[in-house]
Amino acid sequence: MSHFYESFHPNNYNIYLDINRATKTITGKTIIRGEALASSISIHQKYLDIKSVLVDNQAAIFKMRDEAILLPDVKTGDIEVIIEYSAKLTDSMMGIYPSYYEVDGEKKQLIGTQFETTFARQAFPSVDEPAAKATFDLAIKFDEHPGETIIANMPEIRVEDGVHYFETTVKMSTYLVAFAFGEMLSKYTTTESGVKIGVFATKAHQAKELDFGLDIAKRSIEFYEDFYQTPYPLPHSWQLALPDFSAGAMENWGLVTYREAYLLIDPDNTSLSTKQLVSTVISHELAHQWFGDLVTMKWWDNLWLNESFANMMEYVAIDALEPDWKIWESFQTSEAPAALQRDAIDGVQSVHVQVEDPAEIDSLFDGAIVYAKGARMLVMVRALIGDDALRKGLKNYFASHQFGNATGADLWAALGETSGMDIGRIMQSWLEQPGYPVVNAKVVDGKLTISQSQFFIGENEPKARQWQIPLNSNYAEAPAIFADTETTLGNYQQLRSQNGAPFRLNVGNNSHFIVKYDEKLLADIIEHVDELDSISQLQLLQDLRLLAEGGQISYATVVPLLGHFITSPSNIVNSALYSLANDLKKFVTPNSVAEQQLQAFFNKMSDNQVNRLGWLPVDGETNDDQLTRPYVLNATLYAENQKSIEMAHQIYQNNADKVADLPADVRVFILKNEIKNYGNRDLVNQMLTAYRQTADASYKSDLRVAVTSTQDADLIKQIVTEFKNAETIKPQDLRAWFRGILANSHGEQAAWDWIRNDWDWLEKTVGGDMEFTTYITVIAGIFKTPTRLKEFKYFFWPMLETPGLKREITMDLKVIESRVNLIAAEQVAVNQAVEAQIK
Ligand SMILES: [Zn+2]
């Protein structure tokens, strides 16, 4: 498929928009100046009602095509195209769209934009491709009331007859254009280099909620200016929280938009993990201001270049800004397992993937691959070449491609030059191939041997893929890069005594592979497990979990090992421990003896930690203690520990009139316990009302988790009827509600019935954007019986040819199927292993 940019190069867009919220209409006039390279050119549009097209002030012949205006007969060379049109203002969270909120019971709107991936064409006609960079002059009029403001990529220069004019932008891609208007709170500061930083939100929020984001944004911009050795290229960097937002955040140049949950923080009551999350989201978007915005991928197949890089840099930046947080540990509990889990399923996309159709472009945004796995690839590169070569290489990369476009090869060339390594060759095997290897380490005939093969969870067709693996062994005898199928490192006994420590691979867990040690090697590691740092302990548990998921070892052999980790004070070890323990839940049926035994096991694992940490945060406690508490409280409640249930109830009772003020770190468990063990219709309604009224995103999320855990069939029915009521559940939050009910064994049937009956409505409401397929992912994450597998297939199979859904449906079938098979094969052994632990 050819791209429109091949025949037409826009240089400047003069965009006039008149937006009327009351009538929900947009009237527009776009003047595009550019160079026609052929006599037939095309310009993107979608849902635009075109009134007239002039080329060089002459009425032009045009034909409407799918998402395009075709001009079959223009002169080549410099031309000016003027297009007048109108469009509808819709609630799709794409293009130009309203966000809804309430202040003191009064309903209000904030208009914002979302143009990535291909939604700029819904706002103005354009060559809507990342390589078609141009400058933009925005002029916007709207049904303005006193007290409203408008912001955009660049500063406003004047207002004339109610039209707001903005400074001409630098050369940029269409998908990064943004503006917003309405009543807004704002706070400003300035970086050392003079960049104006601002945070904006609706007046449903308190001004103090803007402070945290403002500080992180300012320091992130300062950090990147130094790290990249390249100045921030615009006069300002605005951060705007939108009440309705489909993705997490969007890196529009100079005007980054966020979900409210990812920008606004109540400084008086926010958990450390939420602060960490919000910080990394902000630093991710601001990393893009250079990597993505200043230099942009040439086409969507190189989306990974943007996202993988920003996903690594968010950790590099926050580690520099808040060293006490040890944020790279969070990388190990979030990005690493997400990538390893999804990338093990046959049919997964590679990081670099060919793509043309707009619906397929949206489906590229696979968080576990393009973000998490891609970030691991770059972490691997960073570990290989070091920060000096990385920074010098980036500086050169920005200098040669600024205000233009690049591909992965351009980045490897820049990094290769400063590091003296053939990075492109090493990375080829990781970027172009889906999946990753398991390295088998074993002692064969007295010799230490390693081999690699692709690791799978579920049914697969092996393709004999091989990788260039940075091994990072603690034994110098292991090669730095392992590219063969198999190799022998030498006599094991000799190596063991020379090195004085158990043999290990992937030390630091920076490379994207897992290790299967044979019994002898694993026993050696376990014997010395207390000497391992937290990341190594986490890695051991993560790898064992994956090997068990892939059927390479039995969960039953892993269960007895868990006891080694239950006293760990490290939050990331606890994260891995409970992630593995929670996986055992699939082997028990509700209200069975096996479930009671598993609960007893959870009690045994968590009891000492619950007693050590207590239910409420303590002044001056370590970050690890703060972050560990949620894991053990969750475990003790699953265990139905009577003391814990009563304690949580007591705390709730004592604070019934100020529930929102309960410490944010533990509030969700207190609310959930109350609904589950002491709940009734009144309490559910009370929490639903609080949910509707609060503007605090983290409190909202806690209330959702609590309400969806009710076991009452009638209440579940009532909650499900709220799914389509945007006054209670915003479309942006619906997936989390749906998941909550579906994951509740008492609600599974109701949620599953709902999505099947209301699929058309769902598609109309949230379809067509990059988050849509994740509804299917969510279902596949939960189903575990042969019946559900059959129903899933029956329902989704006919949608296989719907653009953008094929990969997701095919993979998710494998996900459910492998879980069903694993349960059938191991249920008895796993439950016996658990029983043995509680004796
Ligand atoms: Zn991003």
Over residues 335-394, the pLDDT tens digits come to 999 999 999 999 999 999 988 888 788 888 899 999 999 999 999 999 999 999 999 999
167 among known catalytic residues: no
Please give the average per-residue pLDDT across 795-806, as a whole number.
91
Using 50, 70 and 90 to split pLDDT, how confident is the model at 815?
very high
- pLDDT of amino acid 100: 96
Q: How far is the CA of 247 from the centre of ligand 1 (A)?
A: 10
Over residues 184-195, the pLDDT tens digits come to 999 999 999 999
Q: How far is the CA of 371 from the centre of ligand 1 (A)?
A: 8
> Are the CB atoms for 48 and 87 separated by under 8 Å?
yes
Q: How far is the CA of 741 from the centre of ligand 1 (A)?
A: 29
Give me the residues paired with residue 405 across strands: 296
Please give the average per-residue pLDDT across 86-92, as a whole number.
95
Q: How far is the CA of 251 from the centre of ligand 1 (A)?
A: 7
Checking if the pLDDT of 293 tops 70, the result is yes
Q: How far is the CA of 308 from the centre of ligand 1 (A)?
A: 8
Using 50, 70 and 90 to split pLDDT, how confident is the model at 1?
low
User: By CB neighbour count within 10 A (0-12 exposed, 13-18 middle, 19+ buried), where does 591 fall?
Assistant: exposed
In sequence order, what are the residues at sequence separation of 6 or more whose Cβ sits closer than 8 angstroms to the Cβ of residue 421?
384, 385, 415
Residue 69 CA to residue 64 CA, distance in Å, equals 5
Q: What does the DSSP assignment read for 441-502? A: EEEETTEEEEEEEE--SSS---------EE---SSTTS-SEE-SSEEEEEEHHHHHHHH-S-
Over residues 512-525, the pLDDT tens digits come to 999 999 999 999 99
In sequence order, what are the residues at sequence separation of 6 or more whose Cβ sits closer than 8 angstroms to the Cβ of residue 679?
710, 712, 715
Q: What does the DSSP assignment read for 19-80? A: EETTTTEEEEEEEEEEEESSSSEEEE-SS-EEEEEEETTEE---EEETTEEEE----SEEEE
Residue 100 CA to residue 21 CA, distance in Å, equals 12
Q: How far is the CA of 509 from the centre of ligand 1 (A)?
A: 23
> Of residues 285, 307, 314, 808, which has the active-site annotation?
285
Poorest-confidence range of 351-360, 521-530, 659-668, 763-772? 763-772
**Helix orientation angle between 408-419 and 303-321, rounded to the nearest 10 degrees:** 50
Q: How far is the CA of 748 from the centre of ligand 1 (A)?
A: 33
Poorest-confidence range of 69-73, 218-222, 763-767? 763-767
List the one residue out of 462, 432, 428, 463 whose CA is nearest residue 550: 462
Q: How far is the CA of 469 from the centre of ligand 1 (A)?
A: 26
> Are the CB atoms for 257 and 114 separated by under 8 Å?
yes
> Are the CB atoms for 702 and 634 separated by under 8 Å?
no
Tokens of 827: 């249920």
H helix runs in 322-407, sequence order: 327-333, 335-342, 358-363, 374-401
In sequence order, what are the residues at sequence separation of 6 or more whose Cβ sits closer than 8 angstroms to the Cβ of residue 497?
none
Using 50, 70 and 90 to split pLDDT, how confident is the model at 767?
confident
Q: How far is the CA of 743 from the centre of ligand 1 (A)?
A: 29
Q: How many whole angstroms from its chain centre is CA 523?
A: 36
Please give the average per-residue pLDDT across 309-331, as a whole number.
97
Residue 696 CA to residue 266 CA, distance in Å, equals 8
Phi–psi pair at 345, nearest 5 degrees: -95, 130
Q: How far is the CA of 258 from the centre of ligand 1 (A)?
A: 11
Residue 488 CA to residue 447 CA, distance in Å, equals 7
Q: Identify residue 584 by its one-letter amino acid code.
A: L
User: By CB neighbour count within 10 A (0-12 exposed, 13-18 middle, 19+ buried), where does 145 fall?
Assistant: exposed
> Are the CB atoms for 16 and 179 separated by under 8 Å?
no
Angle, vertex CA 281, rays to CA 280 and CA 283, nearest 5: 60
Q: How far is the CA of 195 from the centre of ligand 1 (A)?
A: 21
Over residues 115-160, the pLDDT tens digits come to 999 999 999 999 999 999 999 999 999 999 999 999 999 999 999 9
- pLDDT of amino acid 407: 96
Please give the average per-residue pLDDT across 501-506, as a whole number.
98
Q: How far is the CA of 310 from the centre of ligand 1 (A)?
A: 6
Angle, vertex CA 476, rays to CA 473 and CA 482, nearest 5: 55
Checking if the pLDDT of 702 tops 60, the result is yes
User: By CB neighbour count within 10 A (0-12 exposed, 13-18 middle, 19+ buried), where does 466 fall?
Assistant: middle
- Residue with tokens 């000799």, as numbered in its chain: 494
End-to-end Cα, the chain, rounded Å: 65
Q: Identify residue 285 by its one-letter amino acid code.
A: E
**What is the reported pTM?**
0.97
Using 50, 70 and 90 to split pLDDT, how confident is the model at 308?
very high
Q: Identify residue 172 by its one-letter amino acid code.
A: M
Using 50, 70 and 90 to split pLDDT, how confident is the model at 310?
very high
Q: How far is the CA of 19 from the centre of ligand 1 (A)?
A: 29
**% of the chain beyond a pLDDT of 90:** 95
Q: Identify residue 55 by its one-letter amino acid code.
A: V
Q: Identify residue 103 by its one-letter amino acid code.
A: V
- The neighbour count for residue 144, using CB atoms within 10 Å, is 17
Over residues 543-576, the pLDDT tens digits come to 999 999 999 999 999 999 999 999 999 999 999 9
- pLDDT of amino acid 238: 98
DSSP secondary structure letter of residue 368: I
Q: What does the DSSP assignment read for 633-658? A: HHHHHHTT-HHHHHHHHHHHHHTGGG
Residue 668 CA to residue 630 CA, distance in Å, equals 9
Checking if the pLDDT of 839 tops 90, the result is no
Q: How far is the CA of 562 from the centre of ligand 1 (A)?
A: 36
List own/partner pairs for 733-736 with CB under 8 A and 24 or more apart: 733/700, 733/704, 734/766, 735/771, 735/774, 735/775, 735/778, 736/701, 736/704
- The neighbour count for residue 795, using CB atoms within 10 Å, is 16
Residue 509 CA to residue 332 CA, distance in Å, equals 8
User: By CB neighbour count within 10 A (0-12 exposed, 13-18 middle, 19+ buried), where does 760 fall?
Assistant: exposed
In sequence order, what are the residues at sequence separation of 6 or more whose Cβ sits closer than 8 angstroms to the Cβ of residue 441?
448, 449, 450, 503, 505, 515, 516, 517, 518, 521
Tokens of 67: 């998402």
Region class of 147: left (phi > 0), else alpha (psi between -120 and 50), else beta: left
Phi–psi pair at 567, nearest 5 degrees: -100, 5
